[in-house]
Amino acid sequence: MRKLLRTLPLIAHILLLFAAALAPLMFLVGVIAAIDRWGIHQRMLTNLAQYGKPAQAQISYVDEEYNRAGLHFWDEAGEERYGTLDLRFYPPAVQAQILPDAQVEILYIAANVSESEKTVLREYYSQVQNAPGVDVDVWGLLAVSWLLVMFHPQFVFAGILPFDSLFDPAALEKKGLRP
Amino acid sequence: MTLASTLAFTAGLVVEILLLWETSESQNVRPRPAGIFAPGLSRLQEALALTLAISWGIIGMVQALALPEPVWLVGGLQNGIMFVSFSFLFVFGMVHPKLLPRVDEQRIFLVNLAVLAGIWQWGWGWQAAFALPTALSLVAAWRSRPLSAFWKSVLYLWYLLCLFLMAYQSALNMFFFTGEESGLTLWDYFVGGAAGIFLLLHSIFLVRFFLMFSANILPPNRALIQAAMPHLMRESQIPPWQFALILSVFGGLIGYTILLGKAPPPQWINLLILLAAHWRPAQKQ
């Protein structure tokens, strides 16, 4: 039992090192995801500012897994269109009212441009404009991977420094690379 | 993009990759194999010259003949560029950054100046944000004593951020316009391809270097960043007269920007950045 307890920190250290080996890739994925989501959000806001028109819409479905709702409405040309509503921009009290068949006032993008399927609630437009484009989950991924690298940065230096020197500070000193 | 502009973009991309490779090889002490047709050049330099000559010959021919350009050919070529580029960027930007040219404080200052000219039109907020780092990089460029590993890492991080800003500004829009819409020449596409791959390579490496920079935080890890910086930054500087010459060109560009109140074309900025990164003093025999 004592031997097992003595081995536990070593096991934890090995698992942490394994996670640290994956952390640079996780961080890169997080950065790409953050840039992508920020870009999508900015494009939507730019197109809403340029082509936004008000309309009355009816909620078709609510997707709780992806936190969005589908809706349909008639544009100013009288054609029926379908759009999506991202629910993460709105307070919980408002989200609770977004139910199938509910009527909402929206702003939609009245042009055939990117993100034209996206709509926002007209009453909360300024809130959407001020909302961060990147979700908390992406920030969490970036923070966790960064923390892993901060404590175990050896794998980030692989390919630049000799691998045998990455885990042995004494090896760095022997090669004359003293801090 | 037309076929000729796609080929020009591809040629720029390939030439820049060869140039990065050649710059990386020149930093090794191993003797390089001499050229086959021109023994005075290394084999890579010869390959670079041949690639330039052959690619512009093909581009000129395509432009002159004005043949029909099937969508599958142009689209296929663009998809091929994207696939090869992304693979190259991931391998040499994130995994094994051996092709990144080693820079020094002077080159970083020159890149800083070029990027400052490039973002001048972004407004006084950005100009103010650039003021202090520009001043500090100038101090670093003129110092005779070498910087500590920590300050080198700070300077290098700033250098990568500057290159990322240029990549963000260009957004490689030329890749998505036709030749007629964009008003760009074949030379612009060539420089765009070369600068694009250079800027994106450093932008990808910025992600990795930001993580490397984190090693400065905990004392036990600082030995790693100290050991890594000599692989990224060189100790030797450009000879003073060459630095003064290049500085006068860059200073002229900044003056042009300020006095005329308009930004220089991005192609000029990109060329200056490539010049600063690849400039090599003549080797003494």
DSSP track, B97-142: -TTSPPB-HHHHHHHHHHHHHHTGGG-HHHHHHHHHHHHHHHHHHH
Q: Which residues contact A159 (CB under 8 A, 6 or more apart)?
A: B95, B96, B97, B98
Token pair of B124 as six digits: 């006084």
H/E element, A121? strand A118-121
| Domain count along chain B | 1
pLDDT-based confidence at residue B82 (cuts at 50, 70, 90): confident
Q: Where are the domains of chain A?
A: 35-131, 135-179
> What pLDDT sits at residue B285?
40
Whether B200 is in a domain gets the answer: yes
Tell me which chain B residue has its CA closest to the CA of residue A31. Answer: B207
CA–CA dist B115, B124 (Å, integer) = 15
Three-class SS state of A72:
strand
Whether B56 is in a domain gets the answer: yes
Q: Tell me the nearest-neighbour CA distance from A119 into chain B, angstroms.
A: 26
> What pLDDT sits at residue B182?
59
Cross-chain CB nearest to B97 (options A28, A159, A172): A159
CB A71 within 8 A of CB A104: yes
CB A19 within 8 A of CB A145: no
Here the ipTM equals 0.79
CA–CA dist B179, B161 (Å, integer) = 30
Mean pLDDT value of segment B240-264: 77
Please tell me which residue, B242 or A68, carries the higher pLDDT value: A68
Please tell me which residue, A50 or B260, carries the higher pLDDT value: A50
- Interface residues from chain B to A (CB-CB < 8 Å): 94-98, 204, 207-208, 211-212, 214-215, 217-224, 226-228, 231-232
Q: Tell me the nearest-neighbour CA distance from A167 into chain B, angstroms.
A: 10
Q: How many residues does chain B have?
A: 285
> Would you say residue A174 has pLDDT above 70?
no
- Residues of B in Cβ contact (< 8 Å) with A146: 211, 214
> Would you say residue A165 has pLDDT above 80?
no
Token pair of A170 as six digits: 């004494």
Q: Do A177 and B226 touch (CB under 8 A)?
A: yes
Mean pLDDT value of segment B264-273: 80
Q: Which residues contact B113 (CB under 8 A, 6 or more apart)?
A: B134, B247, B250, B251, B253, B254
Whether B221 is in a domain gets the answer: yes
CB A43 within 8 A of CB A70: no
CA–CA dist A176, A157 (Å, integer) = 18
Cross-chain CB nearest to B94 (options A28, A161, A177): A28
- Report the relative pairing of strands A80-86 and A118-121 from DSSP bridges: parallel
Please tell me which residue, B36 or B45, carries the higher pLDDT value: B45
CA–CA dist B261, A83 (Å, integer) = 44
Three-class SS state of B14:
helix
> What pLDDT sits at residue B74?
82
Question: What average pLDDT does chain B have?
Answer: 83
Token match 């003949």: residue? B65
One CATH from 2.120.10, 2.40.50, 3.40.1440, 3.40.50 for A35-131: 2.40.50
Cross-chain CB nearest to A28 (options B97, B207, B214): B207
Q: Containing domain of residue B145, as a range?
A: 3-278
Based on its alpha-carbon atoms, the radius of gyration of chain B, rounded to whole angstroms, reads 20
> What pLDDT sits at residue A22?
92
CA–CA dist B80, B16 (Å, integer) = 17
Cα–Cα separations (whole angstroms), residue A48 to A43, A44, A109, A115: 8, 6, 6, 9
> What pLDDT sits at residue B284?
45
Q: Do B227 and A159 touch (CB under 8 A)?
A: no
- Interface residues from chain A to B (CB-CB < 8 Å): 23-24, 27-28, 31, 146, 149-151, 153-154, 156-157, 159-161, 165-166, 169, 172-173, 177-179
Q: Do A28 and B224 touch (CB under 8 A)?
A: no
**Mutate which of B221, B225, B226, B229 to test chain A, going by most A C-beta atoms within 10 A?**
B221
pLDDT-based confidence at residue A148 (cuts at 50, 70, 90): very high
CB B207 within 8 A of CB A31: yes
